[in-house]
Structure 1
Amino acid sequence: MKPYSQLRAMLAITKASFRAIFRSPSAVIFGFAFPLIFILVFGFIGGNGRTQTYKVAIEENADTANALYKALVNTQGVSIIRYKDKDSLTDDMEKGKLAGIINIQKNVSGNPPYNFTLKSTNSSNDKWPQFKTLVESVINQLSNQFYRDRPAYASFDFDPKRDIFEIRQYKSIDFILPGQLGFSLLASGVFGVAFMFFNLRNTLVLKRFFATPISRTHIILGEMLSRVLFQILTAIVIILLGHFFFGFTLIHGFNTFFNMLVLSFIGLIVFMGFGFIVSGLATSDNTIPPFANLITLPQFLIGGTFFSVSVFPVWLQWIAKIMPLTHLNEALRDVAFEGKSLWDVKIEIGILLLWGVIVYAVAVKVFKWE
C-alpha cells in the first residue's frame, strides 16, 4: 500500500479549487472583467500624458524681473515651476507633465527688449502647441500695452524641429495598467479568499477535509496555490493585452515582464492575508463585503490606481503611502517604464513584506476552521 502523499492531496485541492474559481462569476468579474474594461477605456482614450495642463519649468538663469514673466505667472491655467533637482525635471519632461522649459532674457541690442525661448519634448505634444499660442497672445497683449506702434515686447524664438526633443513617451496606459493590475490583485486576494474559506467552513467542506489524512497546512496551501495560479494568469493577460494592443511600456522586454509577475506574486500573497482576516471575522456572507470594502476601497481610491498620490493634500498623501497597494503600484510602474530592477524597488518590496508579516500575524489569531 502506497504511503499517503500530502503533496498529491494538496495539488488535488488546488486543481478542484482552480476549476471552481473559473466557475465563479464574481472571481471572473473582479479578476478579469473590471481591469480589462478600464484598460480598454483608457487605452482607446490614449493620450501622451496623464493630464492636460500648462505646467512649465523655467531656466535657472532666466530673467524674472519683467512684465512678460509676471504676466505668465498671473495667467490662469499656467503654473511656472523652478526645479532644483535636474533628475526631477527630466522625469517630469519624459512623462509629459510639463508643456516645456522656458527662458526669458534681455536682448542686449535693445529692441525687442526680451528674448523668449521654449523647449519641449514629443511626450508633451498635447501641451506645447496650446502653450505656444497662449504665450503669443500674452506677448501681443503686452506689446499693445507698452508700445503705440506695436513692436513686439519679446521675440519668440521657437522652432519645433529644433526645440522638440524625441524621447520615449509616457502614455496614459503606462500609468493606468499597473494600477488596474494592482486593483485586480487586491480585489481577488481579499474578496476571493474571504468568500472561499468562509464558504468552505460554512458548507462543512473543511470538516470533510479533516476526515482525510491531509494536514491543515496543505489544505491552506492548496487553496492558496489555486488563487495564485488564477491571478498570475490574469496578470499575464492584462500585461500582454496592454503591451500588444495599447503600447504599454515593457522597457526591458521579458525581464520587465518577469519582474512584474514577481511583484504581482508578492502583492497577491500580502492581499490574501487580508482575505484570511476577513473570513475569520465574518459571521455570515452578508458581513464579508463590509469588512472587505473597508480594506479595499480606501486603497483603491487613494492608492494611486487612477491618478498619482501627489494630487492629494499632504496629510492624505501620508495615509496613502502607508497602504500596501500604493507601494505595489509604484513598484510596478517603476519596473515597467523606468526599467528598474527588483533590487531598485527594494523599499517598496520591503514595505509589502512588512505588511505581510503584520497581516498574517493577525490572520493566525482570528482565522477559524469551524
Structure 2
Amino acid sequence: MAEKYNQGRAMWSITKASIRAMFRSPSAIVFSLGFPLMFTMVFGFIGGGGSSVKVGVDHASDTLNPVYKGLRLSKNIRLVTDLSQENMEDDLSKGRLTAILKIDTGGHAPVPPYTIHLKTSTASSPDNVGMLMNIMGTGINIANDRAYPRPSVARIVPETVPGRIYKRIDFILPGQLGFSLLSAAVFGTAFLFFSLRQTLVLKRFFATPVSRMYIILGEAISRLLFQSFGSIIIIGVGYFLFGFTLVHGFATFLEMLLLCLFGLIVFMGFGFVVSGIAKTESTIPPLANIVTLPQFLLAGTFFPIDVFPGWLQPICKVLPLTYLNDALRKVAFEGLHLWNLGPQLLILTVWGIVVYAVAVKAFRWE
C-alpha cells in the first residue's frame, strides 16, 4: 500500500529551500537587513543630544571672560575656533555657521563690562538664530543673578518626577523594523512568485501532489523565519549598542517580534497583488515602489508625521505602516502590551483583509 503523501513535509522542504535562497540573495540581505541596520546605526551614533548650532569665534574676541566660558559649557552650542577669519566669513554667508561671536571687555559702570557682538547672515536658519539668542539670554541672566544679586518678585519651586529619557534610537529603530518588513514583504514576495511563475517552477509543483495552499505556506513561513532573524539582529544592535528602550525587557522583545510577524503577514498581501498585476519582471519595481515609497516617507519611519502640513497628515494616518510603527513604539517605550493596541491592530487587520481580497482576484498561478 502506497504511503500517503505528506503535505507538511513537502511544505517544510519548500520552506528550507526558500530560506537558503534568501540567505544567498544579496538583494534580500541588503533590503531586509543591510539598509535598516545601517540607518539604525547611523541615527544611533548621532545620539539623542538634541539640536545644536555652530558659532564661529572671532579671532579678536576675548575668550577668558565668564560669558565665553559659560557658552563653551553649553551642549547646544558648538564653538568653532580653528577656522581663519576669511573662512568663517565665507561659512557664515553660506549658512554653514549660524553666527560669528566677538566679545569685547573693558566697559565701566553703568556700561556692562562685556559687549557681545553677534554677526549673523540671511543664510542662517532663523530657528538656529532664535535658539542661539535664547541660550545666550538665559546664560546672561544667570550671570547677572550671580554678579548682581537682587530681590525677586517670585520664587520658582522646582519638582522633578521620574521618567524615561526618549532617545533618538527609541524613535528610529521601530521605523527601521517597519522599513525592513515592508521592503521584504512587497519586493521579496512579488519577485519570488513572478520568478516561480516565469521559470515554470510553479507548473512543476502542480505536477506533484503538493497542495497550492502548502506552497504559499512554505514560502510564507520562510519569510517569517528570515525576517525574525533580521528583526532580532536590529533590536539587539539597538539595545546593546545604543540603549534602545525595552520597558519590560525580554517580554517586550517577544511582543515586538510578534508585531513584526503580524505586520509582515499583512504586507505580504501587497507583494501578492504586485506579483499578480506585473506583466514583466521590469514592471515589478515601479509597482512595488508605488506601495512602499509613500509609506517609507509618510508613515513615521524617519521622522514624526506631525512635522507634515495639516492637509497631509490624514493621508499619513491611513497608511498601514503608520500603525505598525506606532504599535512598535508604544510597546517598546511606553510599555503597552498587545492587548492595549486595539486601534493599531484593528486597522492593520482591516488592511490585511482588504489587500488579501484584492490579491485573491489579482494573483495568477500561471
Q: Same fold (TM over 0.5)?
A: yes
Where do residues 160-179 of structure 1 align in structure 2 (5 Å cutoff)?
167-179=163-175
Name the residue aligned to 2:28: 27
Where do residues 157-236 of structure 1 align in structure 2 (5 Å cutoff)?
167-236=163-232
**Match among 324, 328, 332 for residue 328 of structure 2:** 332
CA RMSD of aligned residues (A): 2.7
Note if contact 1:139-1:154 (Cα within 8 Å) is conserved in structure 2.
Answer: no
Q: Distance in 1 between matches of 2:317 and 2:52?
A: 25
Query: How far apart are residue 135 of structure 1 and its match?
Result: 3.4
Query: How far apart are residue 138 of structure 1 and its match?
Result: 7.4
Show structure 1 runs of 5+ residues with no match: 54-127, 144-149
Name the residue aligned to 1:123: none
CA 1:206–1:43: 2 relative to 1, 3 Å: same
Q: Distance in 2 between matches of 1:211 and 1:338?
A: 52
Answer yes or no: is 1:316 the counterpart of 2:324: no
Note if contact 1:48-1:169 (Cα within 8 Å) is conserved in structure 2.
Answer: no
Q: Distance in 1 between matches of 2:319 and 2:28?
A: 23
Count of aligned positions: 286
Name the residue aligned to 1:256: 252
**Match among 266, 270, 290 for residue 262 of structure 2:** 266
Larger radius of gyration: 2
Note if contact 1:178-1:332 (Cα within 8 Å) is conserved in structure 2.
Answer: yes
Amino acid at match of 1:28: I
Name the residue aligned to 2:353: 357
Where do residues 8-19 of structure 1 align in structure 2 (5 Å cutoff)?
8-19=9-20
Name the residue aligned to 2:291: 295
Q: Distance in 2 between matches of 1:169 and 1:282?
A: 46
Q: Distance in 1 between matches of 2:140 and 2:346?
A: 51
CA 1:181–1:137: 2 relative to 1, 3 Å: same
Query: How far apart are residue 313 of structure 1 and its match?
Result: 1.1
Q: Structure 1, residues 121-167: CA drift from partner, whole Å, max 9, x if none? A: xxxxxxx99956433557999x9xxxxxx9979679679xx666653
Show structure 2 runs of 5+ residues with no match: 54-130
Amino acid at match of 1:135: T
Q: Structure 1, residues 313-349: CA drift from partner, whole Å, max 9, x if none? A: 1121100000000000000000000000111111101
Name the residue aligned to 2:138: 135
Q: Distance in 2 between matches of 1:351 and 1:18?
A: 30
After superposing the two structures, state which structure 1 stretch, 290-299 or 165-174, moved more: 165-174
Name the residue aligned to 2:37: 36
Amino acid at match of 2:306: S
Describe the SS at the equivalent of 1:236. helix
Name the residue aligned to 2:7: 6
Note if contact 1:140-1:153 (Cα within 8 Å) is conserved in structure 2.
Answer: no
Amino acid at match of 1:287: T
CA 1:297–1:155: 2 relative to 1, 3 Å: farther
List 4+ stretches of structure 1 deviating above 2 A. Answer: 128-141, 150-159, 162-167
CA 1:138–1:291: 2 relative to 1, 3 Å: farther
Q: Distance in 1 between matches of 2:194 and 2:152?
A: 71
Amino acid at match of 1:282: A
Q: Distance in 2 between matches of 1:151 and 1:267?
A: 60
Name the residue aligned to 1:101: none
**Match among 341, 344, 352 for residue 345 of structure 1:** 341
Q: Distance in 2 between matches of 1:170 and 1:221?
A: 39
Note if contact 1:175-1:333 (Cα within 8 Å) is conserved in structure 2.
Answer: yes
Amino acid at match of 1:227: R
Amino acid at match of 1:320: C
Amino acid at match of 1:134: G
Amino acid at match of 1:198: F
Name the residue aligned to 1:241: 237
CA 1:270–1:52: 2 relative to 1, 3 Å: farther
CA 1:36–1:27: 2 relative to 1, 3 Å: same
